[in-house]
Structures are given as structure tokens and as C-alpha cells.
Chains A and B, each alone.
Chain A
Amino acid sequence: MIEFRNVKKIYTGGINTIALDDISFVIEKEEFVSLVGHSGAGKSTLLKLLYAEEKPSSGEIYFNGEDISNLTPKQLPFYRRRIGTVFQDFKLLPRKTIFENVAFALEVSDHSDKEIHELVPQILEIVGLAHKLDSYPREISGGEQQRVAIARALVHRPPLIIADEPTGNLDPISSWGIIQLLLKINKLGTTVLLATHNKDIVNRVKKRVITLDQGKLIRDHSKGRYAI
């Protein structure tokens, strides 16, 4: 489903920084992959290339057979709608309620109001927040906010979920709750790519681990542990 082929990313600000150096890997459908490495190893850059926030300096990136390394600004929104994203800082729209935040993902892909009013409560039920439909992000806890973010990432049933340090701002128990949610989603058929530097989570999850160090892919184990 996802293929990186000899991907290099160099940032040319004051100094030339090699963020990713000749990365190649393949991820199949319905896999759960943990992407690990120290801060600065290149995890976030790799994900940014995958959801097309940046373009690779060289190499190609394939998503379901399509080359997405050179998407035009017009094509970009449509591509993004096929991926669900979850971030460390939750990235919820502060002026919208929980319901509206999740509904927004459906609105932008032109779902009908009827569909929205059916699907949103359902998905919030799944993440356990149906009772807080009309709350604002600032009124709920970090763990709850992250679950809303996951609900939003899921609601339009994307084939892939990208999670960039989703537990970074959470306590250990909430963190594990989020990971369990991601595992459950994966079991139901969604491919999940999780970037994290949380050793405990990676070891408990016991799924495939891709390790990055200073921009290079140094390890790719199908039943991995956190070892750098």
C-alpha cells in the first residue's frame, strides 16, 4: 500500500540538513507499523512526506500504486481525505465543538447532513465520547481530546491512519488507552503507521518496527522491540 523508494529529504535553510537519507520500505494493507527513533531521527519528516506536507528531494513515494511525490496543490486536499492523521498536539479546531470537529472531516468531502448526523455520533460512541458532543476542546482532558482527534481521523473510513507521537502529551494510562484504540482500529482493517519514541509502548505492542537513526533506516523487524 505504501512504498518509499530511495527517498531523500534535504532541508536547505542556513545549513543543509539531511533529514532522510535513502529510505526504502514497503508497508502492506492492514499492517500495524511502529516507526521509532530518537527525536530528530527523521520520523516526523517521513510522515510529512507521506501526507504530502513536504516533497522529497529525490526518490518516489507510492500510495496504493500512485506516485504522490509531486502532488499539485489542487490534488492535495483529495489525497489528504484518504488518510487520517493524529498528532501529538491533537490539532482540534478550538472554535468548534467536539461534534463539529469530527463533522468537519465529513463536511469537506461533501457528505450530506443526514450522513453526518448518523456517522458522527456513531464514531464518538466508539471512542467513548458520545456524552460530550457539545463540549469544546478546551473543556475536555488531553486524553479525551486525542480520542476526538482519532474519531475525526476515522470518521471518513480512510484506508490509512498516521499517528505522529499521539501519546506525547499524555500520561501513561491515557497513552495506553489511545494505543489500544489504534490497535482495535487496525484489527478492523485499517493500516496504521505509528511514530513514537515511547519505548514501553513499542515493546508492549509487539508489531513490526522500523527504526530510524539520523535520517537512515537502520532496522526493520516484523516482530520488533525498541532497540536503537
Chain B
Amino acid sequence: MLLLTLKRTFTSGFTHFRRNGWLSFAVISIISLTLLIISTLIVLSIAANLVIKSVQDKVDVSVYFKSDTEESRIMDFRATVLQYKEVKSADYVSKNQALDEFKAKNADNPVIMQSIDAIGDNPLNASVNIKAVTPDKYDIIATAVQNSAFKDDISRINYAKNKIVIERLNNVLSTTRNVGAMLATLFSLIAVLITFNAIRITIYAHRQEIEIMRLVGASNPYIRMPFIFEGIIYGVISAIVVMIFLFPLIKFVAPYLGGAVSVRDVQANFMHNLWLIFLVQLVTGVALGTISSLIAIRRYLKA
């Protein structure tokens, strides 16, 4: 008996949905926009995190050694530094490497190239590039290095210059994160409320139908289920609509992040998680549709 009821109420819900006309269109656009807002916020926060991460990766502290320092001494230094728990990596750049990199970077600048040839000797020093686990650790590392056993071998640490940048970066990061989270929560809440009220209004519009069904002797499942199924159908279709719009949106937004993150990365990330994103949309859409229908119809059931 229960299966028969389920089949009948689903057919009823689906048929009613098809015959709703513009009302269906209105509700679906509302739910779709809601999902779009929530998705965009999620995508933006993921993008922001990507940007943050990649900028973090570019920040480092370089320790330059006096030109007469032995390579083995530098390697000892590197080994010591790698022991620090705040240090993620420490790369050794020899004098020659430094020169090669410098030449490569300035290959199209004839003045600089000529100057190097004129000097003859390698004017650059060997260095160790240290990357910290998180940007707020650079201070600790710099201080530790300055007070370490190797401090006499060090010619300079270019932390002081970067320090301001790094501090500013940390501030921006944490502010962005906090504000972003607050906004995301706020907008998601607003979006959910809007969807809930939209569905409540559609059920209000059908309140006479509900009354008629009660008069004919329908029990609550027979009255409720068609509306629940309608809610689910709205949710599913909205999820599909949002996915269709998300594609061009990502394509459009990606280049603007190009400065900090590669375009390909963003798109690849998106495509990779495609099914996951669709699943989240689907579940959210269906949950929104169902719960809203359930709550909205209660007033008319008198039971």
C-alpha cells in the first residue's frame, strides 16, 4: 500500500509541476540564484585561498654568505636550519647558480649583461633561501639565524626589507579570511531564507487545493507528498541550471585571478571537482526544496 501511495503522490507532484507554468519558472529561478550565490561565495573563497597560498609560496627569506665562506660551512648551516620546525624548505644557491640565474633573468637587458662581463669576477654571493611553514614564522626564523653559530659567516639577510611586506601580507590574509567567512555565512543565510519564503508563497497559492483535498478525505501523506516531490523537483532542476551557469562564470572569472594564480590551475581545479560540486548543489537544492515544503505546508494540514 505504501509503495502505491508513493507512486501516486510522486506522479501527482510531477504532473502538478509540469502544469504550473510560469510559477515553476519563478521558483526555479529563485532557488537557482540562491544556489548560485552560495556557490559563487564558495568558489571565491577557494580562489582567495589559492591566491593566498601562491603568494605565500613566493615569500621567502634569503640568507647571503660572505664570499669567502666554505661551501661545507653553508651546507652545515642549511642542515641546521632544516631542523627548525618552522622551516618548510631551505634551498642552497651557489655562487655560480646565482650568476646563471641572474644572467637568465636579465638576458634581454644589454647594459646589465655588459656590466657583468666588464667586472669579470662573480660579484654575487651564495645564499640559502628559506621558506617558512606559515608566513608569521619568518620573524622567528630570521632572529634565530641572526643569533646562530653561523652569524659571522652571514653577509646579510634580506628579511628586513621583506619584513614589512610579509607583515602586511599576514594582516591582509587574516582580515580577508575573517571578512570572507562572515560574508559567506551572512549571504548563505539570506539566500536560504529567500528560497524558503518563495516556496512558502507557492504553497500559499495552492492553499485552496489543500482544503479541497482534505474535504475529499485525503490523509496527510496524500496531501503533503505531492508538494514535497514538487519541492524536490525544483531543487534538482535548480542544481542543474546552476551548473550550466557556473561553467561560463568560472571561465570568465579565471583570467582576472591570472595575476596571482595560473588560469589553468583554477579551471583544472574546477573540472577535477566537477561531480563533487554538482553533488553539493544537488543535495543543497533538494534539501532546501524539501525542508521548505515540509515546513510551509504544516499550517494547512491542521493535524
Interface residues of A (CB under 8 A from B): 51, 53, 73-74, 76-81, 85, 91-96, 100, 104-105, 107-110, 152
Contact = CB atoms under 8 A, between A and B. Distances in A.
Interface of B: 1, 4-5, 8, 15-16, 19-20, 208-209, 211-220, 222, 302-303
B303 A73 contact: yes
B16 A81 contact: no
Contact of A91 (B1, B16, B212, B217): B212
A218 to B, nearest CB: 29
B217 A81 contact: yes
A59 to B, nearest CB: 22
Contacts of A92: 212
Contact of A107 (B208, B209, B215, B222): B222
B209 A93 contact: yes
A110 B216 contact: no
B215 A95 contact: no
A53 B16 CA distance: 26
A78 B217 contact: yes
Contacts of A96: 15
8 contacts: A77-B219, A77-B220, A78-B217, A78-B219, A93-B209, A96-B15, A108-B216, A109-B217
A125 to B, nearest CB: 21
Contact of B303 (A51, A74, A91, A100): A74
A110 B302 CA distance: 22
A85 B213 CA distance: 12
Contacts of B214: 77, 80
A23 to B, nearest CB: 22
B8 A80 contact: no
Given A73-B303, A95-B19, A95-B20, A80 B5 contact: no
A110 B5 contact: yes
Nearest to A153: B216
A105 B214 CA distance: 11
B174 to A, nearest CB: 54
Contact of A108 (B19, B211, B217, B302): B217
B8 to A, nearest CB: 5
Given A91-B212, A93-B212, A93-B213, A108 B15 contact: no
A85 B215 contact: yes
A51 B16 contact: no
Contacts of A110: 1, 4-5
A91 B210 CA distance: 11
Nearest to B18: A95
Contacts of B302: 73
Nearest to B19: A95
Nearest to B222: A108
Contacts of A104: 213, 216, 218
A96 B16 CA distance: 8
A91 B215 contact: yes
- Please provide the 9 A-B residue pairs with the shortest distance between their CB atoms, ordered closest to farther: A80-B217, A73-B303, A81-B217, A108-B218, A77-B219, A91-B212, A95-B19, A77-B217, A95-B16
A183 B303 CA distance: 36
A101 B302 CA distance: 23
A214 B213 CA distance: 31
A195 to B, nearest CB: 15
Nearest to B211: A91
Contacts of A51: 215
A80 B215 contact: yes
Contacts of B4: 110
A95 B216 contact: no
Contacts of B222: 107-108
Given A104-B213, A108-B217, A152-B216, 5 more contacts: A78-B217, A93-B212, A95-B16, A104-B216, A107-B8
Contacts of B1: 110
A85 B218 CA distance: 13
Contacts of B19: 95
Nearest to A110: B1
B21 to A, nearest CB: 10
A95 B209 contact: yes
Contacts of B212: 91-93
B19 to A, nearest CB: 5
Contacts of A81: 217
A108 B222 CA distance: 7
Nearest to A152: B216
A80 B214 CA distance: 8
B212 to A, nearest CB: 5
